[in-house]
């Protein structure tokens, strides 16, 4: 799941300072699950923007809209009859949303209202942690299902560094040393020798280092 947080109100207000009428578009995907851009968040932000501008003596008209997803052209198409009726459109989706909207409707201005942070999951109610770096070639089977790329502060793949202590990372005592967990799990399973095997360096061309990526499902391409 993509995790995002809403941008500071001051930053959003600055985006629309010259606008009199805007559309605020939420997404029913990841940002709904992580409570950053779902229906509730759209309603709250819309109310805040209206109240703030009313206090300034120059009202802001805010239209609220929800899309199933903002990363899919068929749902973005639902805005075709109305997108140009506003001074700007604010997206509460992850960073993909406003880009898809901007590409579909190049004559309009689209602003992001959330900061996209990482791919992760809920470890408890209201708390999400990073679990995947989207590096393109998954290697967690080599580390008993734990990812040293996303979960090690240095993305070390060939063993722990010398900076951790008591199972915590030197970057912060709140960060688990994932290599401590990997080694302990291997020891408990009697497979520590797995980590002594020579492995070639990862080919980072499958990650962002190889440029913007594309995934093609030939059976779905028309």
Same domain, 112 and 137: no
Q: Which distant-in-sequence residues (6+ apart) come within 8 Å of 41 by Cβ?
A: 6, 26, 31, 35, 92
Q: What is the pLDDT of residues 33-46, one digit of tens each?
A: 999 999 999 999 99
| pLDDT for residue 201 | 85
Of the pLDDT bands very low, low, confident and very high (cuts 50, 70, 90), residue 97 is very high
Residue 126: inside a domain, yes or no?
A: no
Domain limits for position 30: 2-117
How many Cα neighbours within 13 Å face the side chain of 157?
16
How many Cα neighbours within 13 Å face the side chain of 127?
2
Same domain, 20 and 105: yes
Same domain, 137 and 111: no
Domain boundary among 117, 149, 180: 117
Gap between the Cα atoms of 124 and 178, Å rounded: 19
Whether the per-residue pLDDT at 209 is higher than 90: the answer is no
Mean pLDDT, range 70-93, rounded to an integer:
97
Of the pLDDT bands very low, low, confident and very high (cuts 50, 70, 90), residue 205 is confident
Q: Greatest CA span in the chain, whole angstroms? A: 70
Whether the per-residue pLDDT at 190 is higher than 90: the answer is yes
What is the number of residues in the chain? 222
Residue for token digits 């979960």? 151
User: How many C-beta atoms surround the C-beta of residue 49 within 10 A?
Assistant: 22
Same domain, 23 and 74: yes
- Average model confidence (pLDDT) for the chain? 94
Whether the per-residue pLDDT at 222 is higher than 80: the answer is no
| pLDDT for residue 175 | 95
pTM for the whole thing? 0.87
User: The dihedral of CA 130, 99, 45, 16: what is its sign?
Assistant: positive
Gap between the Cα atoms of 117 and 95, Å rounded: 9
Q: In this structure, what CATH number is given to the domain that contains residue 9?
A: 3.40.50.2300
Same domain, 91 and 171: no
Same domain, 142 and 48: no
Residue 124: inside a domain, yes or no?
A: no
Residue 125: inside a domain, yes or no?
A: no
Residue 149: inside a domain, yes or no?
A: yes
Residue 95: inside a domain, yes or no?
A: yes
Give the SS3 label for residue 18. coil
Gap between the Cα atoms of 117 and 62, Å rounded: 26
- Supply φ then ψ for residue 191, to 5 degrees: -125, 35
Total domains in the chain come to 2
Whether the per-residue pLDDT at 182 is higher than 80: the answer is yes
Residue of 9, 12, 8 whose CA lies nearest to 88? 12
């Amino acid at each position: 799941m993509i995790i995002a947080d809403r941008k500071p109100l001051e930053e959003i207000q600055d985006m629309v300072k010259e606008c009199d009428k805007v559309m605020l578009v939420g997404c029913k995907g990841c940002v709904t699950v992580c409570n950053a851009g779902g229906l509730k968040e759209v309603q709250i932000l819309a109310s805040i923007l209206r109240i703030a501008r009313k206090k300034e003596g120059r009202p802001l008209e805010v239209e609220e809209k929800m899309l199933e997803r903002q990363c899919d052209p068929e749902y973005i198409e639902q805005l075709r009859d109305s997108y140009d009726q506003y001074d700007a459109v604010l997206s509460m989706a992850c960073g993909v949303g406003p880009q898809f909207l901007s590409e579909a409707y190049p004559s309009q201005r689209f602003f992001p209202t959330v900061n996209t942070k990482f791919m992760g999951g809920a470890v408890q109610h209201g708390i999400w942690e990073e679990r995947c770096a989207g590096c393109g070639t998954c290697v967690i089977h080599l580390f008993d299902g734990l990812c040293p790329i996303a979960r090690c502060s240095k993305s070390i793949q060939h063993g722990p560094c010398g900076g951790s202590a008591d199972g915590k990372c030197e970057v912060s005592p709140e960060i688990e040393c994932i290599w401590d967990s990997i080694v302990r799990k291997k020891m408990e399973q009697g497979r520590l020798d797995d980590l002594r095997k020579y492995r070639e360096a990862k080919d980072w061309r499958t990650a962002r280092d190889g440029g913007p990526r594309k995934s093609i499902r030939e059976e779905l391409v028309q």
